[in-house]
Amino acid sequence: MKALLNSEEARAQVLPRLTPVMTGSFATSEIFDALRQITEIGGAVTFSALEGRLKAASRALLHELMAADEMCDEAASLDQAQACLRRMEGDIKRRQMDELRSKVKTAEREGRIEDALASMAELSRLEKEAKAASGS
């Protein structure tokens, strides 16, 4: 969070990939939404600008996050933000693959072979993407 707040480069590279769908279930979702809003309108991204858009619970969480994050330079902050994003994207891919496996089993059980084959094709595509991304 600190990287996104303090580094314009981190915001430019990471924030567009942190979609509302990806962050919607996070305790920090309101913070991410406010950060997106500030960035979209082209406003100055400062702690006070972000804090001013939050409800009390999210303000308290923002303070906790800023106090907990380690101090590091902008390059290290960007690396940390990118690593965190890669992990979240990997988690989402794994969840999608698990959901597709479940759809395949359900479709097979119910005799919906075409649906099962379509889900298997999508699963295969995601598995290939994941394998290519990991360099295996």
Q: At what angle do helices 56-68 and 29-41 cross, to 10 degrees?
A: 90
pLDDT tens readout for residues 26-69: 999 999 999 999 999 998 999 999 999 999 999 999 999 888 76
**CA-to-CA distance for 110 and 124, rounded, in angstroms?**
21
Task: Say what the pLDDT of residue 108 is.
Answer: 96
Q: Do 59 and 51 form a contact (C-beta atoms < 8 A)? A: yes
What is the residue extent of each domain of the chain?
A: 1-71, 86-136
What percentage of residues in the chain have a pLDDT greater than 90? 54
Residues 5-20 have pLDDT tens digits of 888 888 899 999 989 9
Look at residue 69 in the predicted model and tell me its pLDDT. Answer: 62
